[in-house]
Amino acid sequence: MDPEIDALLVERGIRREDLEHVIAHAEETEDACVNGVTGRYIASYRPGNTTYWVEYDREAGYFRIFRAYSHRMLILENFNTPAKRKETLDWRCLKCGVQLELATVKLTHLEETFATDTPACPSCCRVFVSETDAIEKMGLAEKMLEDK
């Protein structure tokens, strides 16, 4: 992990063990997406009230971390519907081998429910939350609800 990423994770309150949990879960279950261009993996894990995301790659004997972020909003499973805007992405579902497409998904936080468009696997409905969406969109919405 590069020092600047390390510093960013400290700022975001993401611990090394959170990263380890995400990677261990992904390696065990193949619950991850893989980028067709870079070959990097992105995986998430929600041990409690926070979902952690890690983008990583396997290198000789260790894992290299490229980014990690988290959100507290919960993505409701199996509520995906195809998005109006069509877009396929460089990421594909590791388990299904299918390219991700935009889907409208449901999110919930503090008893409020939202719908948003995000990449998802059209086969198993695995959702992909980008760093920008987690930090900007979801982060702002979480803060608004918590300040109410």
Binding site for Zn ion (CB under 5 A): 93, 96, 121, 123-124, 126
Q: Report in angstroms how near the CB of residue 23 gets to Zn ion at its nearest.
A: 19
* 3-class DSSP assignment, residue 59: strand
- Using the minimum distance from each CB to Zn ion, give the nearer residue, 88 or 113: 88
Handedness of CA 60, 61, 66, 71 (dihedral sign): positive
Taking a C-beta distance cutoff of 8 angstroms, is the pair 65, 26 a contact? no
- Using the minimum distance from each CB to Zn ion, give the nearer residue, 65 or 130: 130
- Using the minimum distance from each CB to Zn ion, give the nearer residue, 8 or 125: 125
Q: Report in angstroms how near the CB of residue 33 gets to Zn ion at its nearest.
A: 8
- Using the minimum distance from each CB to Zn ion, give the nearer residue, 124 or 135: 124
Q: Report in angstroms how near the CB of residue 101 gets to Zn ion at its nearest.
A: 11
* Structure tokens that stand for 97 in this block: 């081998």
| Unique residue bearing structure tokens 């926070």 | 50
Count other Cβ atoms within 10 Å, centred on residue 44. Answer: 23
Taking a C-beta distance cutoff of 8 angstroms, is the pair 33, 96 a contact? no
Rounded Cα distance between 114 and 110, Å, is 11
Q: Report in angstroms how near the CB of residue 84 gets to Zn ion at its nearest.
A: 21
